[in-house]
């Protein structure tokens, strides 16, 4: 579904990603871990289509299309969803209005008829349950005055509404207390199916207790230096990232 080949990305001349390779198949859950500043969020932003970054080498193939050729909105319409680390507040735009516009544009792209008002309301009600959101929240402006936890829940709620094929969740666990973490993780698990894939970007193993990955990758110095089964996450939790650093510096891993 997603093939990232030798991806090099720089921002203002500074190289951040130095040859990332990542393959994700339908039905899989991948976790990308790694210390701060190694390029995890850059990877998510490049996939989302942020124009701050220059892709200097390599390619991203998504559903056999060259992802980098697609506009930001077309990536979303093709089924990519990014759960942002810092969701933006948009005063004056209600979540209902936002979601209805997004959903209908995506449907139009897929040549489906727009949802009627009542279909939309039913859908919103159903999806709110996924992340235990109250209906009051939907009348409010997008993320405005939301707590950190509410913002993240709102991201997963949007994911539930838009039903992406590939979801990339960038530090969705940061700033969440245990209860919120459980709610968010449950949401993600409910949305999992054999036809979609999820990439979870995180610092901590904690989230992976709830969202169990098929593969764990370690991103270090702009490259994926190690991949392994879910137990790798436990090892990282136990030993920290230093041993990765040491092995990397000694040339044991590349």
Partner 1 sequence: MQDFTQFIKQTFEARNDSSPFETLRKEAFTKFCEQELPTKKIEQWRHKAIDKLVEPQYALQSEPLPYIPIEKFFKCNVQNINTQMFAFLNGWFVHDNQPLLTFENGIIVGTILEAVKQYPELVLQHFSKIRPDKTDGLIALNEALFSDGIFIYIPDNVRTEMPIQVVSLIESEQNLMLQHHNLIVMGKNATLSFIQCDDSLRNEKSFINNVTEIFMDEYSQLDYYKMENKSSESLLANNIYVNQQANSQFFSNVTTFNGGYVRNNIHVEMNGEYADAKLYGLYLVDRKQYVDNQVEVIHNQPNTSSNQLYKGIADDEAGANFNGHVIVKPHAQGIAAYQINKNIALTDDVKITTHPFLEIYADDVKCSHGATIGQLDEEAMFYLRSRGICKRNARMLLMYAFANNVADYVKIPELRNRLNEMIQKRLSGELSICDQCILHCSNKKSFDFEFKIKPFSN
160-189 footprint of partner 1 as x/- string (CB under 8 A) = --x---------------------------
The smaller minimum CB distance to partner 1, of residues 81 and 220, is found at: 81
The smaller minimum CB distance to partner 1, of residues 70 and 253, is found at: 70
What is the CB neighbour count within 10 angstroms for residue 111? 6
The least distance separating partner 1 from the CB of residue 160, rounded to whole angstroms, comes to: 13
CA distance 102 to 124: 13
Q: CB–CB of 24/166 below 8 Å?
A: yes
The least distance separating partner 1 from the CB of residue 29, rounded to whole angstroms, comes to: 21
CA distance 84 to 217: 19
Q: Which two tokens stand for residue 209?
A: 């207790």
Q: CB–CB of 168/201 below 8 Å?
A: yes
Dihedral, CA atoms, 68, 71, 77, 78, nearest 10 degrees? -20
Q: Which two tokens stand for residue 120?
A: 């939309």
CA distance 37 to 132: 33
Which H or E element spans position 152?
Answer: helix 148-162
Q: Which stretch binds partner 1 (CB under 8 A): 31-39, 46-54, 58-66, 243-251?
A: 46-54
Decide: is 109 part of the binding site for partner 1 (CB under 8 A): yes
Decide: is 87 part of the binding site for partner 1 (CB under 8 A): yes
Q: Using the rule CB under 8 A, which residue among 59, 96, 97, 186 binds partner 1?
A: 97
The least distance separating partner 1 from the CB of residue 22, rounded to whole angstroms, comes to: 20
The smaller minimum CB distance to partner 1, of residues 72 and 212, is found at: 72
11 beta partners? 14
Residues contacting partner 1: total by CB under 8 A = 31
Q: Using the rule CB under 8 A, which residue among 17, 29, 31, 84 binds partner 1?
A: 84
Phi, psi of 214 (to 5 degrees): -85, -35
The three-class DSSP label of residue 68 is helix
CA distance 167 to 188: 9
Total number of residues shown for the chain: 254
What residues numbered 125-164 form the site for partner 1, per CB under 8 A? Answer: 141-142, 158, 162
The least distance separating partner 1 from the CB of residue 170, rounded to whole angstroms, comes to: 12
The least distance separating partner 1 from the CB of residue 35, rounded to whole angstroms, comes to: 26
What residues numbered 56-75 form the site for partner 1, per CB under 8 A? Answer: 71-73, 75
Query: Which residues of this protein are in contact with partner 1, per CB under 8 A?
Result: 48-50, 71-73, 75-77, 81-82, 84, 87-88, 90-93, 97-99, 101-103, 105-106, 109, 141-142, 158, 162
């Amino acid at each position: 579904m997603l093939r990232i080949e030798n991806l090099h990305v720089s921002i203002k001349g500074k190289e951040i990603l130095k040859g990332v390779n990542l393959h994700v198949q339908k039905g899989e859950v991948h976790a990308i871990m790694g210390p701060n500043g190694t390029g995890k969020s850059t990877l998510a932003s490049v996939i989302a289509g942020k124009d701050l970054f220059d892709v200097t080498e390599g390619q991203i193939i998504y559903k056999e299309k060259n992802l980098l050729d697609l506009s930001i909105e077309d990536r979303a319409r093709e089924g990519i969803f990014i759960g942002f680390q810092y969701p933006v507040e948009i005063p004056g735009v209600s979540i209902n209005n936002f979601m209805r516009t997004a959903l209908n544009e995506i449907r139009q792209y897929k040549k489906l008829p727009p949802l009627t008002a009542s279909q939309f309301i039913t859908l919103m009600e159903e999806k709110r349950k996924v992340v235990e959101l109250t209906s009051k929240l939907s009348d409010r402006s997008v993320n405005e005055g939301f707590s950190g936890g509410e913002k993240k829940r709102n991201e997963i709620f949007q994911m539930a509404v838009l039903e992406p094929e590939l979801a990339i969740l960038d530090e969705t666990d940061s700033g969440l207390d245990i209860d919120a973490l459980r709610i968010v993780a449950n949401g993600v698990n409910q949305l999992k199916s054999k036809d979609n894939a999820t990439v979870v970007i995180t610092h901590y193993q904690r989230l992976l207790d709830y969202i169990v990955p098929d593969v764990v990758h370690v991103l270090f110095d702009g490259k994926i230096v190690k991949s392994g089964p879910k137990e790798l996450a436990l090892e990282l939790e136990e030993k920290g990232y230093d041993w990765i650093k040491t092995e990397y510096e000694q040339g044991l891993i590349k």
